[in-house]
Amino acid sequence: MNEIIDLILTFSQELKEIKARIKLSIAERLKITWIDYQDVILTLPISKKTLKTIRKDGEISFSKVQNKFYYKISDLEELLQSNYYNLNFKCDEVK
Protein backbone atom coordinates (compact mmCIF):
# COMPACT_ATOMS: atom_id res chain seq x y z
CA MET A 1 0.00 0.00 0.00
CA ASN A 2 2.87 2.37 0.81
CA GLU A 3 4.33 1.72 -2.63
CA ILE A 4 1.12 2.89 -4.29
CA ILE A 5 1.02 6.03 -2.16
CA ASP A 6 4.66 6.76 -3.00
CA LEU A 7 3.93 6.29 -6.71
CA ILE A 8 0.94 8.62 -6.54
CA LEU A 9 2.97 11.27 -4.71
CA THR A 10 5.81 10.96 -7.22
CA PHE A 11 3.37 11.19 -10.11
CA SER A 12 1.71 14.23 -8.55
CA GLN A 13 5.06 16.02 -8.15
CA GLU A 14 6.04 15.20 -11.73
CA LEU A 15 2.74 16.60 -12.98
CA LYS A 16 3.35 19.82 -11.03
CA GLU A 17 6.81 20.13 -12.60
CA ILE A 18 5.41 19.53 -16.09
CA LYS A 19 2.72 22.13 -15.48
CA ALA A 20 5.33 24.67 -14.37
CA ARG A 21 7.50 23.97 -17.42
CA ILE A 22 4.51 24.35 -19.72
CA LYS A 23 3.66 27.68 -18.03
CA LEU A 24 7.25 28.81 -18.49
CA SER A 25 7.20 27.78 -22.14
CA ILE A 26 3.93 29.63 -22.72
CA ALA A 27 5.30 32.66 -20.89
CA GLU A 28 8.34 32.71 -23.16
CA ARG A 29 6.17 32.44 -26.27
CA LEU A 30 3.93 35.24 -25.08
CA LYS A 31 6.98 37.26 -24.07
CA ILE A 32 5.97 37.28 -20.43
CA THR A 33 9.10 38.36 -18.63
CA TRP A 34 8.14 37.83 -14.98
CA ILE A 35 7.09 34.70 -13.06
CA ASP A 36 6.21 34.23 -9.41
CA TYR A 37 8.18 32.22 -6.87
CA GLN A 38 5.89 29.20 -7.15
CA ASP A 39 6.68 28.77 -10.81
CA VAL A 40 10.40 29.23 -10.08
CA ILE A 41 10.54 26.50 -7.43
CA LEU A 42 8.54 24.10 -9.57
CA THR A 43 10.54 24.74 -12.71
CA LEU A 44 14.08 24.47 -11.37
CA PRO A 45 13.04 22.57 -8.96
CA ILE A 46 14.38 24.07 -5.76
CA SER A 47 12.84 24.67 -2.37
CA LYS A 48 11.24 27.91 -1.29
CA LYS A 49 14.03 28.26 1.28
CA THR A 50 16.72 27.88 -1.39
CA LEU A 51 15.07 30.54 -3.53
CA LYS A 52 14.86 32.84 -0.51
CA THR A 53 18.58 32.29 0.18
CA ILE A 54 19.48 33.04 -3.45
CA ARG A 55 17.38 36.20 -3.28
CA LYS A 56 18.77 37.24 0.12
CA ASP A 57 22.37 36.72 -1.05
CA GLY A 58 21.72 39.04 -3.98
CA GLU A 59 22.30 36.35 -6.59
CA ILE A 60 19.05 37.22 -8.34
CA SER A 61 16.99 40.36 -8.66
CA PHE A 62 13.30 40.40 -7.87
CA SER A 63 10.21 42.53 -7.59
CA LYS A 64 7.91 42.42 -4.58
CA VAL A 65 4.26 43.36 -4.92
CA GLN A 66 1.96 42.95 -1.91
CA ASN A 67 4.27 40.40 -0.25
CA LYS A 68 4.57 38.28 -3.39
CA PHE A 69 7.91 37.90 -5.16
CA TYR A 70 8.36 37.96 -8.93
CA TYR A 71 11.45 37.12 -10.96
CA LYS A 72 12.53 37.89 -14.50
CA ILE A 73 12.89 34.80 -16.64
CA SER A 74 16.01 36.30 -18.18
CA ASP A 75 17.57 36.70 -14.71
CA LEU A 76 16.88 33.06 -13.92
CA GLU A 77 18.45 31.98 -17.20
CA GLU A 78 21.46 34.18 -16.48
CA LEU A 79 21.83 32.71 -12.98
CA LEU A 80 21.74 29.18 -14.36
CA GLN A 81 24.16 30.02 -17.16
CA SER A 82 26.63 31.71 -14.80
CA ASN A 83 26.65 28.58 -12.65
CA TYR A 84 26.95 26.18 -15.56
CA TYR A 85 29.90 23.83 -15.32
CA ASN A 86 31.27 21.38 -17.78
CA LEU A 87 34.00 18.89 -16.97
CA ASN A 88 36.45 20.98 -18.96
CA PHE A 89 35.33 24.60 -18.54
CA LYS A 90 32.95 27.08 -16.95
CA CYS A 91 30.80 28.97 -19.39
CA ASP A 92 30.55 32.62 -18.36
CA GLU A 93 28.66 33.79 -21.43
CA VAL A 94 24.91 33.90 -21.65
CA LYS A 95 23.79 32.56 -25.02
pLDDT value of residue 4: 87
CB 40, CB 74: distance < 8 Å:
no
Query: Splitting the chain (95 residues) into consecutive groups of 10 residues, what average pLDDT does each group show?
Result: 86 86 77 85 88 94 94 89 75 53
Residue 95 has what pLDDT?
A: 47
Coil, helix or strand for 45? coil
In angstroms, rounded to a whole number, what is the distance separating the alpha carbons of residues 22 and 56? Answer: 28
Domain residue extents for the chain: 2-82
Task: Kindly give, in sequence order, each residue whose CB lies less than 8 Å from that of residue 87, ignoring residues fewer than 6 positions away.
Answer: none
Distance CA 65, CA 49 (A): 19
Q: What is the pLDDT of residue 3?
A: 87
pLDDT of residue 69: 94
Look up the pTM and report it: 0.60
Contact between residue 53 and residue 37 where contact means Cβ atoms under 8 Å apart: no
**Residue 73 is which amino acid?**
I
CA atoms within 13 A on the CB side of 7: 4
